[in-house]
């Protein structure tokens, strides 16, 4: 049996062996056929921003994979990607995560941006109690630089939040160069032991409410956002065409 404890170790993980992954997906049925984001027949509303979600780190707490789970709010699952048991992935989720994502779906159009690609709908959505037909952008691996063009293209002129534990200042600067007028972006790099916790969810809700005002966030809004992030477990950047601000830097990854 092959167990991949951290699918984001891309060279040996889920996305790197696309032939294995395709074999796994073809052997299982999904409630709705997966489709790339740009081919999605639906369109994003003019009100809600887009939330691009990575899996390993923000949702799957891979920093805890392989460790004994003592926290009652966490659960571990072994996901079988091939019927013969030759390719499996250890997952660790917060039991509160599904409810947090369902709440965020009231404020965002959620889109997968993960090396799980369309298989996130098949394997992860049922575990989290969220729709199994969410749009997704094609991600060849877990490096945000390889996802960048797909995220930017898919966002079009919509404001968006992007949650990925490998986001950096370099990515934030690249995003700023591509933003359209009146478009803004929130980039969040959570701790791999915590993922989308209460603090991250609070910041995401703040950003969605900022979009409702129709104004570009200024220094006052930046101070409010920075005040949310007190744990030092999260790195985050607020980006507009005229401003790129680091809201918080993270102390370590594990």
Mean pLDDT across the stretch 113-121? 92
Mean pLDDT of 45-57: 84
Q: How many CB atoms lie within 10 A of CB 22?
A: 11
Give the span between the Cα atoms of 198 and 240, in whole angstroms: 25
- Among 51-55, 115-119, 183-187, 202-206, which is the least confidently predicted range? 115-119
DSSP code per residue over 139-160: -SSS-HHHHHHHHHHHHTTS-E
| Pairwise CA distance, residues 72 & 27, whole Å | 33
Between 68 and 123, where is the model more confident? Answer: 123
Could you give the CA distance from residue 57 to residue 204 in angstroms, rounded to a whole number?
A: 16
CB 183 within 8 A of CB 172: no
Select the highest-mean-pLDDT range: 9-13, 30-34, 56-60, 215-219.
56-60
Measured between alpha carbons, how far is 130 from 60 in angstroms, rounded to an integer?
15
3-state secondary structure of 213: helix
| pLDDT computed for residue 214 by the predictor | 76
Quick check: 41 pLDDT over 70? Answer: no
For 201, half-sphere exposure in the C-beta direction (CA atoms, 13 angstrom radius) is 17
pLDDT tens per residue across span 158-212: 999 999 999 999 999 999 999 999 899 999 999 988 899 999 999 999 999 988 8
Q: What is the mean pLDDT of residues 112-130?
A: 93
Nearest one of 142, 232, 233 to 191, comparing CA atoms: 233
Give the pLDDT of residue 45.
38
Query: From CA 120, how far away is CA 126, in angstroms rounded?
Result: 9
Residue 72 pLDDT: 63
Write down the mean pLDDT value for the chain. 79
Q: Angle between the 219-228 and 198-213 helix axes, to the nearest 10 degrees?
A: 160
- If one counts every other C-beta atom within 10 angstroms of the C-beta of residue 14, the result is 29
Q: 83: pLDDT confidence band, cut at 50, 70 and 90?
A: confident
Give the mean model confidence (pLDDT) for residues 108-137: 94
Q: Is the pLDDT of residue 131 over 70?
A: yes
């Amino acid at each position: 049996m092959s167990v991949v404890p951290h699918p984001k170790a891309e060279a040996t993980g889920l996305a790197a062996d696309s032939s294995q992954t395709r074999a796994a997906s073809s052997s299982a049925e999904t409630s709705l056929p997966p489709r790339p984001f740009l081919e999605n027949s639906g369109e994003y509303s003019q009100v809600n921003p887009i939330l691009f979600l990575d899996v390993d780190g923000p949702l799957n707490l891979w920093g805890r994979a392989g460790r004994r789970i003592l926290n009652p709010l966490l659960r571990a699952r072994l996901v079988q990607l091939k019927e013969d048991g030759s390719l499996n992935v250890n997952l660790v989720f917060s039991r509160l995560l599904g409810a947090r994502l369902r709440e965020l779906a009231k404020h965002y159009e959620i889109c997968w941006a993960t090396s799980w690609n369309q298989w996130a709908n098949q394997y992860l959505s049922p575990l989290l109690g969220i729709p199994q037909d969410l749009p997704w952008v094609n991600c060849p691996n877990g490096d945000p630089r390889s996802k960048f063009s797909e995220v930017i293209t898919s966002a079009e002129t919509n404001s968006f939040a992007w949650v990925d534990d490998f986001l950096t200042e370099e990515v934030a600067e690249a995003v700023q160069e591509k933003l359209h007028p009146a478009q803004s972006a929130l980039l969040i790099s959570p701790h791999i032991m915590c993922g989308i916790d209460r603090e991250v969810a609070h910041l995401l809700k703040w950003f969605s409410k900022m979009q409702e005002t129709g104004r570009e966030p200024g220094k006052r809004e930046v101070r409010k956002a920075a005040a949310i992030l007190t744990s030092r477990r999260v790195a985050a950047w607020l980006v507009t065409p005229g401003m790129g601000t680091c809201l918080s830097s993270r102390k370590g990854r594990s």
